[in-house]
Amino acid sequence: MDMQMNLSAEAISVEQRWCAHNYKPLPVVIDRAEGVWMWDVEGTRYLDMMSAYSAVNLGHGHPRILRAMIEQASRVAVISRAFHSEKLGPFLRRLCALSGLDGACPMNTGAEAVETAIKAARRWGYKVKGIPADQAEILVAEGNFHGRTSTIVGFSSEAAYRDGFGPFAPGFRIIPYGDADAMEAAIGPNTAAILVEPIQGEAGIVVPPEGYLRRLREICDRRNVLLILDEIQSGLGRTGKWFAFQHEGIVPDGLCLGKALGGGVMPVSAFVARQDLIDMFVPGNHGSTFGGNPLAAAVGLEALETLDEEGLVARSAELGDHMMRRLSAIDSPAIRAVRGRGLWVGVEIDPAFATARAVCEALMQRGVLSKETHDTVIRFAPPLVISREELDWAIDRFAETLAAMRA
């Protein structure tokens, strides 16, 4: 037993010695995973209630994704955008059809999709709206999380994300989230775009008031401002719709996607937009060596087709309602709030009871893995392939954990 336990300790020790300490993982070393389950190096099984921040919406090692990945990698994987590939067009065509938009710029990571959106919005502001050179402004929301690049953290309202990384790029203003009137009041002649998450993930699964996106859509139409939504976490079935904006019956001007687009096996992202916005990119003014490579396109297309053909968006809606009801019914002084949509729920823990980190560590001991955010919220976002029985098992373990910690 001591020898087995040393496997985890050794792996953690080596990682801590050689890896930058920019994360604080739970003390578990994952060795393999399948579907909604993961096993550590000692062979202990855990249910994944995190889905790698929605990157594993299809579950771990989905056979269709692995097959598409292997078949494409065996033919050609990376050629850069210097040449055409057979898979890229069909992939982006499907993405545009699903989102109701006109064109897309393929990238790799979510942050790259957001950076692409920022560049497109600014260029549109100058070329189309007529904003004076270098004066374009983008309005963002308090509590936002759009990535970790120096530009993006520069307009974060979280001090820890900014500390020691300035000076930051100008051209952004932070407006309270969920307040459409405040957003409109902040619009000026140089405002090119509003950039928001339909539901704020890293902030703690914060759902805005009903009608918020509809109001933003109306404001942007009336004031000639772009509406750009970051659905890197909320998109592709997570909230019970293909995209969270569909809950309010609107279509944005630009859409940032990533995470689940890679089928749980590789980074794939895209900025999808209406035609005049996507046309802001011409040869030489934007690019990515790996963005849109044949392997990424094949995996992305298969991910979209699998979500569709296996009915996983509807499953997220049905099981999400069930998860919300069950979590809301837990009678515990630890719980201050339960909020979310689809298979994406945040449970806010009373700091007087315990830290969210402590709850996650105790939950790990009962075979369920998740992660805290902002010290007070536990995220529950299982792969969309989860069964009702597996979901109930995880929720039962959570209720048991809170009861045991209280005792």
Label the pairing between strands 137-141 and 172-175. parallel
Whether the per-residue pLDDT at 164 is higher than 90: the answer is yes
Q: How many residues does the chain have?
A: 407
CA-CA distance, 147 to 161, in Å (whole number)?
10
Instruction: Tell me the pLDDT band of 5, cut-offs 50, 70 and 90.
Output: low
pTM over 0.85: yes
Instruction: Tell me the pLDDT band of 229, cut-offs 50, 70 and 90.
Output: very high
- Looking at the fold, whether 388 and 281 belong to one and the same domain comes out as no
- Looking at the fold, whether 254 and 125 belong to one and the same domain comes out as yes
- Looking at the fold, whether 136 and 192 belong to one and the same domain comes out as yes
Whether the per-residue pLDDT at 38 is higher than 60: the answer is yes
pLDDT of residue 406: 82
Summarised one tens digit per residue, pLDDT across range 261-317 is 999 999 999 999 999 999 999 999 999 999 999 999 999 999 999 999 999 999 999
> Would you say residue 277 lies in a domain?
yes
Whether the per-residue pLDDT at 331 is higher than 90: the answer is yes
- Looking at the fold, whether 273 and 289 belong to one and the same domain comes out as yes
The last residue of one of the domains, among 309, 331, 359, is 309
The last residue of one of the domains, among 252, 284, 309, is 309
Our count of domains for the chain comes to: 2
pLDDT of residue 374: 87
Strand order in the sheet with 372-373: 335-340, 345-349, 377-380, 372-373
Element (H, E) at 380: strand 377-380
CA-CA distance, 384 to 386, in Å (whole number)?
5
Average pLDDT rounded to a whole number, residues 106-134? 98
Show which residues are catalytic.
145, 230, 259
> Which domain range does residue 364 map to?
2-61+311-406
Whether the per-residue pLDDT at 4 is higher than 90: the answer is no
CA-CA distance, 324 to 318, in Å (whole number)?
10
CATH number for the domain spanning 380: value is: 3.90.1150.10
Whether the per-residue pLDDT at 1 is higher than 50: the answer is no
> Would you say residue 68 lies in a domain?
no
Q: What share of the chain is helix, strand, coil (3-state, %, to 5)?
A: 40, 15, 40
